[in-house]
Amino acid sequence: MVEKVNILNIFAWDQPMGRMVITNENVCVFEYDSDYLSTGKSLSPFHLPIRPGAITARRDPFNGCFGVFNDSLPDGWGNLLIDRFLISQNIRPNSLSILDRLSIVGQSGMGVLTYEPVYKFDSITEINDLNILAAEVEKILAETQYESGILSELVEMGGSSGGARPKVMLNINGEPWIVKFKSTHDPDNMGEVEYQYSIVAKKCGIEMPETKLLEGKYFGVKRFDREDEQKIHIHSASGLLYADHRFPSLDYVDLIKAAFVLTKNIEEAYKLFRLMAFNILTGNKDDHAKNFSFIFKKGQWLVSPAYDLVPSDGYNGNHSTTILGKGRAAKNDILEVAKLCNLNQKKAELIFDMVYVNCKEIRIKGFE
């Protein structure tokens, strides 16, 4: 039984950050810990500044939650796992509040944020065989008979993860990795495709975590929120800018400008310009606001390494993040974005040319 959470204690780097309650109108109210007020940094500078007293969240776009804590909540796959498990325990998923769901995330989420009280799942198995896990994932997606013990194990391994595609968090040779499995509508070689995209992205000068193709078919990516056993804060563009990732709500111009405002470093803005060019040239149209993130590392905000780079249809064949308000773009649109973001035109052209040449093996038609 999941006990209802009335007060959620929130920790950053395992130190008290504050506490959160939820009103009768299902809106979260947060208050910083007094010690954190004097020594801590805002982990969401635009919408959760450091200040004393109660801070009330906006209703939209996160259903009454703060963007930075909403980032901790799972998306499609994680929610599916958790809801299936709750139903198996005769618990109605819609009876859980945001605080309840964050208590399920507990200490297993990405980044530096953890939540107490922690709801612990009783996992009776410990499976690291990717083929067994993949087979159970397929059963869950197909709504056929699956092992209840493995369901709880999958919740432990991937229930707090973001994104729609099935995944698990594993230690590989003592290091933290994320391993993805194909979803119902993915081609059988989806792992190979994402691995190829990651290799080409690196050729294009895009910062990527280490990637592997495991068992010749499962895409693995090393977690960039962990480094030398240290936790690194991650904040999605969605949570930072309050941009709903479920439909087009962000433009590359605004994203790149926000990167400069947050990081105060023009080189970070160029990182997103390069990534925009790659996404457009390779047909990654699932470039929604949660597929861009920032990290807070050694006292500095930076654009995070890129992730979730795969060909996709987007919204009606359009990019999820628009380009000058449009869902599709040509070269002149890409360079106009650079101009509007006050990027050096010559440098922007050189970046575009580098990406264009190095992504030739996966470049979409129209940019031949």
Residue range 204-231, pLDDT digits in tens? 999 999 999 999 999 999 999 999 889 9
Token reading at 295 = 């990290």
Token reading at 94 = 């819609």
CA 123 vs CA 1, 120, 169: distances in Å: 15, 9, 15
Q: Which residue has the higher pLDDT, 262 or 158?
A: 262
Instruction: Show the CA angle centred on residue 320, arms to residues 187 and 139, nearest 5°.
Output: 35
Between the CA atoms of 275, 278, 279 and 280, what dihedral angle is there, to the nearest 10 degrees? 120
Average pLDDT (352-363) is 96
Report all structural domains of the chain as residue ranges with CATH numbers, in order of start. 8-116 (no CATH), 130-226 (3.30.200.120), 231-358 (no CATH)
Instruction: Give bridge partners of residue 284 from the DSSP assignment.
Output: 312
- For residue 122, the model assigns a pLDDT of 63
pLDDT surpassing 70 at residue 2: no
Write out pLDDT tens, residues 112-139. Answer: 999 999 987 665 556 778 998 888 888 8
- For residue 150, the model assigns a pLDDT of 74
CA 297 vs CA 29, 40, 345: distances in Å: 27, 14, 29
d(CA 57, CA 336): 36
Which range (37-51, 54-68, 97-111, 143-157) has the least confidence?
Answer: 143-157
- For residue 160, the model assigns a pLDDT of 66
Write out pLDDT tens, residues 20-66. Answer: 999 999 999 999 999 999 988 999 999 999 999 999 999 999 999 99
Instruction: Show the CA angle centred on residue 218, arms to residues 217 and 222, nearest 5°.
Output: 140
- For residue 361, the model assigns a pLDDT of 94
Q: Map residue 364 onto helix, strand or coil.
A: coil
CA 93 vs CA 82, 97, 114, 154, 323: distances in Å: 8, 9, 21, 17, 38
Helix (H) or strand (E) holding 322: strand 321-322
- For residue 1, the model assigns a pLDDT of 54
Q: Which residues contact 275 (CB under 8 A, 6 or more apart)?
A: 206, 292, 306
Q: Map residue 115 onto helix, strand or coil.
A: strand
Q: Whose structure tokens read 């939209």?
A: 60
